[in-house]
Amino acid sequence: MNNIEKSRRLRELILAKDTLVMPDAFDPLSARIIERLGFKAVQCSGFSMAVAAVRPSEAELGMEANLNVSRTIVNAVEVPVMADGEDGFGGPEDIVAAIRAYVEADLAGINLEDQVLGQPGSKRIVTRDVMVEKLTNARKAAKDANNADLVINGRTDALAVANDRQAGLKEAVVRANAYLAAGADLAFITSVATMDEVEFLLREIKGPISVAAGMPYNVRTLSLKALKDAGVARVSLPAIAILSVVRAMMDTLQSIRDTGDFTDILDGNRICGMEDIAALLKQNARIPMATKQKVLFLCTGNSCRSQMAEGWARYLKGDAIDAYSAGIESHGLNRLAVKAMAEVGVDISNQRSKLVDELKNLQFDYVVTVCDNANESCPLFPGRTKVVHVGFDDPPRLASNAKTDEEAFSHYRRVRDEIRAFVETLPDGLKEK
């Protein structure tokens, strides 16, 4: 299945009569185990990823690491995978880049929450209006990224931050209904502790709901059977896998340390056999060993040349490059650039002009400046990013001096073809710059 088909399959599972149970995956192996045991979908857990990376919080893990792990999880399984998009890693304006990145990584769905990620002190949530704007932007961004079927799980932590449980439940209902109206496919309410609370939410929320189970605050009060019987659409197990892995390793290694032999772990059947490992690894032929290079094409207004470069990279090098474009300014998508690319069968009409600041949460391998002004004004990029300048003539400027429409359009065609020739050398061509 491709990512659109997986999104549609995930939506079918959520809307089906049977409750969808999604355990937490934090690496490809945990995802493979979840799939092998018959679960129909996998939930990436930012919490579990952070624990596995020995990070104290999801915020410290960050979007780039979250995305990279999510990508390896998708490549390890056939079933649909839902990303943990946290709070979108920023405000409403940042959500577009996040959605696009997760769509390009072939995630079937994404969890977006109203808690503020990485803030000091006690947990807090954004206003309803801010979260509604995030979800509205996310739905549009999914469509613009060519997966209008992306499943969006709108999460509220209103109950978790409330001092009064009844007031928290009522606020959770208001928010859940607002999130569904804004484009979420289901409403995820955290910190639900009793079946009475579950039944209240089911009565008051006008759409499918999701709750977390197996958590320290409800592991003894909520059972999967009770949640299924009540009609909960989706049950997230956001920490059960990582908690059980930590406990199993600690118990096993403590036994070896204390007893000096392996009798207890053998008697307790605490280690798997090599046949279990072989069964988990037999699908490895489909897991790509190399990751794509993340390349940003940058120009002044992200209107023409950088848009063409992004379109060509997606069309010609989609298996090797994750392509993006942006500008120092945003001048809108040039209609003649769209027309020129359409002539050669490349549709860039769904791309949009954007500021480079919108992509601040992404770590690029290369930034390619395609105009002199962008090269001179290029912002600093952290870490390993290499900035390369490959200049191309400006079609709108040349066209402004043309005597006929045909002469004007010829400049777009020429630059389009020059950009194609450059993109065909990628990504190896960038290593030589």
Q: Decide if 3-243 and 293-431 have a common fold.
A: no
What's the pLDDT score for residue 291? 67
Asked if 93 and 81 count as a contact pair (C-beta separation under 8 A), the reply is no
Respond yes or no: is residue 378 known to be catalytic. Answer: yes
What are the sequence ranges of the domains in the chain?
3-243, 293-431
Instruction: Count Cα atoms within 13 angstroms, Cβ side, for 178.
Output: 18
Give the predicted TM-score (pTM) of the model.
0.74
Give, for all 433 residues of the chain, the pLDDT tens digit.
Answer: 888 999 999 999 999 989 999 999 999 999 999 999 999 999 999 999 999 999 999 999 989 999 999 999 999 999 999 999 999 999 999 999 999 999 999 999 999 999 998 877 788 999 999 999 999 999 999 998 889 999 999 999 999 999 999 999 999 999 999 999 999 999 999 999 999 999 999 999 999 999 999 999 999 999 999 999 999 999 999 999 999 999 999 999 999 999 999 999 999 898 999 999 998 988 654 455 456 889 999 999 999 999 999 999 988 988 789 899 999 999 999 999 999 999 999 999 888 899 998 888 788 999 999 998 877 777 777 667 899 999 999 999 999 999 999 999 999 999 999 999 999 999 888 877 6
What's the pLDDT score for residue 384? 78
What's the pLDDT score for residue 283? 67
What's the pLDDT score for residue 221? 97
Whole-number Å distance between alpha carbons of 70 and 44? 7
What's the pLDDT score for residue 289? 46
Q: Cβ–Cβ contacts within 10 Å for residue 412, how many? A: 24
Nearest to 150 by CA among 210, 212, 221, 99: 99
- Sheet holding 321-327: strands in order across? 321-327, 293-299, 366-369, 386-389
What's the pLDDT score for residue 121? 77
Cis, peptide link before residue 379, omega less than 30° from 0: no
Q: Cβ–Cβ contacts within 10 Å for residue 354, how many? A: 19
Asked if 156 and 175 count as a contact pair (C-beta separation under 8 A), the reply is yes
Query: What is the 8-class DSSP label of residue 121?
Result: S
Whole-number Å distance between alpha carbons of 150 and 108? 6
Out of 44, 272, 304, 371, which one is annotated catalytic? Answer: 371
For residue 203, what is the enclosing H or E element? helix 195-204
CATH number of 293-431: 3.40.50.2300
The answer for residues whose C-beta is within 8 angstroms of residue 414's C-beta and 6 or more apart is 393
Respond yes or no: is residue 299 known to be catalytic. Answer: yes
Respond yes or no: is residue 272 known to be catalytic. Answer: no
Sequence-distant contacts of 282-290: CB under 8 A, at least 24 apart: 283/32, 283/76, 286/75, 287/28, 287/72, 287/75, 287/76, 288/75
Whole-number Å distance between alpha carbons of 367 and 378? 9
Out of 44, 272, 299, 304, which one is annotated catalytic? Answer: 299
The CATH topology of domain 3-243 is: TIM Barrel (3.20.20)
Whole-number Å distance between alpha carbons of 304 and 298? 11
Angstrom distances, CA of residue 306 to CA of 204, 212, 329, 380 = 48, 43, 12, 18
Nearest to 21 by CA among 6, 43, 5, 3: 43
Instruction: Return the bridge partners of 368, or none.
Output: 297, 388
